[in-house]
Amino acid sequence: MPSKTDWIRALTPEQEVLLTRFRDEWEQIELCTDAADRPRAEAAIANLYRDLGKNVPRFVWCDSPLSAYRAMDDEGRGALVANAHWPNLGETEYNFFASVTATIRKRVEKDLENDLERRLEDWLFNNFGGSLADDIQHGLWNSMGRDIPNLRITDLWGQQDSALISPYLFYEAIGLQFESRARRLLGLWEELARSCMWWWGYENLCFVCERPERMLWSENTGFHCADGPAITFRDGWGVYVWKGLYVPPEMMEAPVTLKAIGEMENIEYQRVLIDRYGLERYFEDSGAREVARDAQGVLLEMELPGGRTQQIVRVENPTPGPGGERRIYLLPLDGRFETPTDAIGSTFGLPPGAYKPTAQA
């Protein structure tokens, strides 16, 4: 085991630059919408089967996860589940990660390891891989019914495995060396991340999914689209996401009315409908009552469906626009307040009584 003096305790300035490039590169892989590189993906999967001592399977390519499950239905789900290799493939992946993690913990200071996990693995997983998998799973349930959990969604995510493998590739880039089998497996998982999306391995048969045709993501909203699916696959199947929250297609395709908002029992979905309707318009159309007013604005309040109370403060921009008009803003509030001044102060993170408008300005 290397001495403590050989441990990697911090990144050099050059390695910091490399880390930024790594994150940007693997973010693009997670969001890649190019057509799958089928020969490259099949070669990697074939070698993983060989590693398990299994015959190379016949490949069935599908344009979406929904198409894949329908193709599995055609093959007979029961027979497939009985001959699934995904637990063995998942165990191979788990053992690989255990091996390379042991190598890292012999060479890398724990604080640095935690920092890199947060800056690379957590970033990619929380923003892309994990959230996208949840959205697709909800979309599959909506399309096929709740019986789909009887057939494992998949542990083999292709490009969405980027969050898992990119940190190890980064460690290798800064000088760590892994034992030969672990390095070979790392290369195969990398090939799959760079060439396809989800895949399902069975005896003599492997279903592989094309990449999505479109994915709409931004750092401010996450996956989001206001007028259609945020994730669309090549067969036309898509997943609707509003600011990072999966929503059923029928909810996004129907016009938003006060009646629809009032009848929505799911609070998160109700907030999406209000967001689509427009909070300012919703307050105006629903008859909000005035709580208080002062020199800073007007404090309004209304009862939301489900017995919840929402306050909002109406403020006027003190700086006139080009035509002399002053723009009006309605700011939604967390909590309840007695005065507009305290309500505005809360948007700066200040407690009641702490906001001094002249001082703030």
Read off the pLDDT of each residue in 231-238 and give the average, rounded to a whole number: 96
Range in 82-91, 125-134, 247-256 with the lowest mean pLDDT: 82-91
pLDDT score, position 42: 98
pLDDT confidence bin for 190, thresholds 50/70/90: very high
For residues 303 and 207, state if they share a domain: no
In 3D space, the residue among 227, 189, 221, 195 whose CA is nearest the CA of residue 208 turns out to be 195
> 213, 229, 251 — which closes off a domain?
213
Q: What is 115-133 written as a DSSP string?
A: HHIIIIIIHHIIIIIHHHH
For residues 171 and 296, state if they share a domain: no
Q: Residue 137: which domain range?
A: 4-213
pLDDT score, position 67: 93
Q: Please state the pTM of the whole predicted model.
A: 0.77
For residues 111 and 201, state if they share a domain: yes
pLDDT confidence bin for 105, thresholds 50/70/90: confident
Q: Which residues of 97-126 are buried (b: 16+ CB within 10 A; e: fewer)?
A: bebbeebbeebbeeeebeebeebbbebbbe
Neighbouring-strand partners of residue 222: 218
Asked if residue 239 belongs to a domain, the reply is: no
- What mean pLDDT value characterizes the chain? 84
**Mean pLDDT highest for which of 59-68, 144-153, 276-285?**
59-68
Cα(339)–Cα(344) distance, integer angstroms: 9
Q: Are residues 260 and 247 in contact, defined by beta-carbon separation less than 8 angstroms?
A: no
pLDDT score, position 274: 84
pLDDT value at 100 more than 80? no
> 190, 213, 236 — which closes off a domain?
213
pLDDT score, position 361: 42
For residues 53 and 145, state if they share a domain: yes
pLDDT: which is higher, 299 or 92: 299
pLDDT score, position 323: 56
pLDDT score, position 23: 93
Q: How many domains does the chain have?
A: 2
Read off the pLDDT of each residue in 334-346 and give the average, rounded to a whole number: 90
For the chain, where are the alpha helices, taking DSSP H only? 13-30, 38-51, 65-75, 77-82, 86-105, 110-116, 123-124, 130-144, 162-173, 180-193, 249-253, 258-263, 267-277, 279-286, 340-347, 357-360
Asked if residue 142 belongs to a domain, the reply is: yes
> 189, 213, 237 — which closes off a domain?
213
Query: How many CA atoms are closer than 13 Å to the CA of 224, on its beta-carbon side?
Result: 13
Tokens, residue 126? 């929380």
Give pLDDT tens digits for 192-227: 999 999 998 888 889 999 999 999 998 888 899 998
Asked if residue 237 belongs to a domain, the reply is: no
Asked if residue 119 belongs to a domain, the reply is: yes
Q: Are residues 239 and 66 in contact, defined by beta-carbon separation less than 8 angstroms?
A: no
Residues of the chain with pLDDT > 90, as a percent, come to 30
pLDDT value at 151 more than 70? no
Q: Are residues 277 and 264 in contact, defined by beta-carbon separation less than 8 angstroms?
A: no
pLDDT value at 2 more than 60? no
Asked if residue 311 belongs to a domain, the reply is: yes
For residues 47 and 166, state if they share a domain: yes
